[in-house]
Amino acid sequence: MTVADLRRVARIGGHLPIADYGLAGDGNGCALIGRDSVIEWLCVPRFDCPPVLCGLLDPYRGGAFRIVAEDVVAGAQTYVDDTAVTVTTVRTDHGVAEVTDAFLLCSDADLRREAYVGRGELLRRIRVVSGRVAVHPDLALRSPARRSRFWAGVLLQPQAPGRVELRLFVDPALDVDQPVVLESGQQADVVLRWAPGSGRLHRAEWPRDLAPTVSAWRRWAAGIDYDGPQRDLVRRSALTLKLLDYTQNGAIIAAATSSLPEEIGGARNWDYRYTWVRDAAFSVYAMRRIGLPDEADRFLSWVLDAVERDGAPRVMYSLDGLPPPDERLDSGLAGYRGSRPVRWGNAAAGQTQHDVYGEIIDCAYQWARAGNHLDGQLWSHLVQFAELAARSARRPDHGIWEVRTAGKPFTYSVAMCQVALDRTARLSRDLNLPCDAPRLAAQAEELRRLVVQEAWSERAQSLTDQMGGDELDASVLALPLRRVIDAAHPRMVATTRAVEARLGAGDGLLYRYLPNCSPDGLAGHEGAFLLCSFWLVDNLAAQGDLDRAMQLYDSLCQRAGPLGLLPEEIDPNSGEFLGNYPQAFSHIGVISSGINLVRCLQNCGQRRGNSP
């Protein structure tokens, strides 16, 4: 990072652009660090806890953690290679400083297998690169807290029940009460601790040792097996998914944040800090394909435990495998750039979404094909889910996009019920497991025909959002990926063209659907949904249009922020990031489409090599 790389820092109404934040974490909690070095989102000790800091949603009342005591005029961010350690370089009127942020990991931590790898502390290290910079560790919480001084810093005890107690330890070179000017070459550490029993930090422990944390991340990243297009971004996407993976049990959250808007000033603001079976299933599928099977195995074990406890799968879970809290509106926060309401919890947890059966069984199918054992009890649950899928397939539900209207017979849901039946029948035949495999296979084939025939609209010349419908929905682009219909099937080729033409937002971006044509019970509009564009890449590649698929893939990857992070959605007009961030779905798209392109390129090379 050089001074020439620094870009002007500009806030709008006190807010940075969403793309101007880096993600740090330890697989338990996380923080978002702005390009001006201010931390404005901190959820510890767990992702789904009430945020300690949420200035991201209200810069005046949400709280923030500052370390530079001057106005930052320019900044840039990078990650230490193959780690979750962020480095933010900032320029003030008097000098340039480098702020390194890391959730410290235990010595010899193994991110692949150990549940408790985090130390429960955040290190902020500031080093003056040139000139002089005023430094003051200033931690302002959202919730009122009693502050008391101790020999090495400040104890903060929030008054709200259940909020985590924090200790801020300050380098001997700094003063917790007032700014201290550091000269070029000088550095200082600040440590925020929330782990129980974290009351002591000896002077001999300064400066803090960052090496074990860097080593642990690099050991994990060494297992990434990918050598294809956009290699660096694929690796960063894998690291980002790992940052969203709750290490204590394998649950994977959909995104690190809540209530970042899908439309600036709009009401489509949701809490994504929970585990959707669908999102996590896509995540583990992507990670397994690049040499990271442990995450897949731990998630499957976790979700099946949760399902066994409840007797049936839920749409989403808290990190404990329980129902998420009821959705509530927070009138005390203004929302990101005035986008209200701010929400905690998610009402979609109570919806009916039939695709969940297929997501779980497809995960188990991958797991078993990798050589893992399906015991009798687990198998009986999977067969039960397949039977539920057979009974539910033709019933209305709220679909993959979780509409807040009455249910409909959504095509994607029917297709995923087909997946549930098909994979169960295959497992039974391949592994000699007991069930009525011929009947399940016949039911799967019947559902396949149902999708191809009844979801097809002659008027639209496309598979549509629901059985007997006429409106388009980009989720049907996922059907070839789930082996429901071949990408080269004439109706799928036509569907790809129709979706690209009618849901296209320009430059390869796609809307999920058009709310004015397919009412979803919500006011306003939303941005283009990145995962849908990656599905378009996959279909183009499988249909033989490899050059255009590569061009689209590269253009989508170029939309990643400076740190290689992607949001849920993009504003097609401005290119701004929208929705919760970073979003697992988008990074899944980077990985899966990269793998699919590698395979298509290999197959193309083999065909050329075999030609006379």
Q: What pLDDT shows up at residue 421? A: 98
Q: What pLDDT shows up at residue 3? A: 65
109 versus 69: the higher-pLDDT residue is 69
- Give residue 606's pLDDT band: very low, low, confident or very high (50, 70, 90): low
Q: What pLDDT shows up at residue 114? A: 74
Q: What pLDDT shows up at residue 611? A: 43
Place of tokens 């700014």: 179
Q: Judge whether 143 and 160 are in contact, CB under 8 Å.
A: yes
DSSP 86-128: EEEEEE-SSEEEEEEEEEEE-TT--TTT-S--EEEEEEEEEEE
pLDDT at 58 over 90: yes
How far is Cα 222 from Cα 29, in angstroms, rounded to an integer?
23
Global pTM reads 0.96
Average pLDDT of the chain is 93
433-457 pLDDT per residue, tens: 999 999 999 999 999 999 999 999 9
383-395 pLDDT per residue, tens: 999 999 999 999 9
pLDDT at 582 over 50: yes
Q: Write down the number of H helices and E strands in the chain.
A: 12, 25
pLDDT at 370 over 90: no
Q: What pLDDT shows up at residue 369? A: 85
Question: Using only C-alpha atoms, what is the Rg of the chain?
Answer: 25
How far is Cα 412 from Cα 464, in angstroms, rounded to an integer?
9
Q: Judge whether 305 and 381 are in contact, CB under 8 Å.
A: no
Pairing of strands 187-193, 275-276: unpaired
- Give residue 4's pLDDT band: very low, low, confident or very high (50, 70, 90): low
**What's the number of CA atoms in the CB half-sphere (13 Å) around residue 599?**
11
How far is Cα 571 from Cα 533, in angstroms, rounded to an integer?
14
H/E stretch holding 41 reads: strand 39-43
Q: Judge whether 17 and 40 are in contact, CB under 8 Å.
A: no
469-488 pLDDT per residue, tens: 999 999 999 999 999 999 99
Q: What pLDDT shows up at residue 310? A: 80
Name all domains of the chain by residue range, CATH numbers in brackets: 3-196 (no CATH), 221-610 (1.50.10.10)
267-289 pLDDT per residue, tens: 999 999 999 999 888 888 899 89
Angstrom CA distances, 246 to 280, 482, 552, 591, stand at 11, 26, 32, 20
Place of tokens 């999708």: 451
